[in-house]
Structure 1
Amino acid sequence: MLRLTALLIATASPVFAHEYGFAGILSNDNSGEMPELTLSSGQPIADGPITLESGKVYEMEIEADGSAELALAGSAFFRAIWINEIVINGLEIRPYGIESVEFDEAGTMEIEFLAIKPGRYELRQPGSSGDTQAVQITIQ
């Protein structure tokens, strides 16, 4: 009986549970691919519209070439996702939420997030009116 109790305690411990791998949003098969976004004066942000799947984890990589001070705004999109972390120059930020990001010089930013709320959204360079200065994102 003592051995059975010890076995039950050992199998219920969190350390033993991790031997099976992560479940849910942390599992490897729950992540999706997202194309890189580019911020460059007068250049398109993306090659075309982006489609994401609700419930999947994505990493948005934004590359700025420093040709101008450029931003991406999209409060509706940022409210439709849960942001796990933002990585800038190796520094991790875990925000409650954001409305926009801005680059004053060349650099890379990675935003890891969970797509949640289905809908059609837009990330746009503030103050721009061209179609290529925005990217349409659909969460299915």
Structure 2
Amino acid sequence: MKKLMIIITICSFFALLLAACGADRSGDTASGGSAPGNQVQMNDTQFVQSSITIHKGESITLVSTTFTPHIIANGTWDNGQAKAAKESGAPEVKSVQINGNSSGSIGPFTTAGTFKLYCTIHSGMNLTVIVQ
């Protein structure tokens, strides 16, 4: 019985240690992350919201809620045609891959303005980032 209690105590310690090390700091702006409200979810073929408004210096976090991978870049889909773009003041986003059920951060956006992002493999998947 004594050995069982020691094993349970050791396992509990390691579980606590793993939980502490795996804490999500993506919303911690002091560590360079994005503010908690700066998340945009993606389903299989669309951004769940088509635009997001953030403040200068902030980043956005794209969250894939399905198993479908996405490749994000500067630009937009226009009438079924992918149009890559290099926008002055926007962070350069080239082939940022966000695999299924994962997330990725883009930014920081250091210049006020309106910027376009798109998924290069899903026609019509556009996101507008408005920076104030």
Give the TM-score normalised by structure 1.
Answer: 0.49
Aligned equivalents of 1:61, 1:119: Cα separation in 2: 19
Superposed counterparts of 1:23-42, under 5 Å:
26=30, 31=35, 33-41=37-45
Partner of 1:61: 62
Q: Does the aligned pair in 1 maintain the 2:73–2:93 contact within 8 Å?
A: no
Aligned pair in 2 of structure 1 residues 139, 98: CA closer, same or farther (>3 Å)? same
**Which structure has greater helix proportion?**
1
Q: Does the aligned pair in 2 maintain the 1:64–1:106 contact within 8 Å?
A: yes
User: 1:136 aligned to 2:128?
Assistant: yes
User: 1:102 aligned to 2:97?
Assistant: yes
Partner of 1:87: none
Partner of 1:72: 72
Aligned equivalents of 1:124, 1:106: Cα separation in 2: 16
User: 1:111 aligned to 2:113?
Assistant: no
Q: How many residue pairs get matched?
A: 93
Q: Does the aligned pair in 2 maintain the 1:61–1:111 contact within 8 Å?
A: yes
Q: Deviations over 1:3-62 (max 9, x none)?
A: xxxxxxxxxxxxxxxxxxxxxx739xx946213231413xx213231111113x335132
Counterpart pick for 2:118 among 103, 117, 124: 124
Q: Deviations over 1:93-140 (max 9, x none)?
A: xxxx6423124x52312316432011111111115542xx11111112
What are the ranges of 5 or more consecutive residues in structure 1 without an aligned counterpart? 1-24, 82-96
Aligned pair in 2 of structure 1 residues 61, 124: CA closer, same or farther (>3 Å)? closer
Give the TM-score normalised by structure 2.
Answer: 0.51
Q: Which amino acid aligns with 2:112?
A: P
Q: Which amino acid aligns with 2:70?
A: L
Q: Which amino acid aligns with 1:46?
A: V
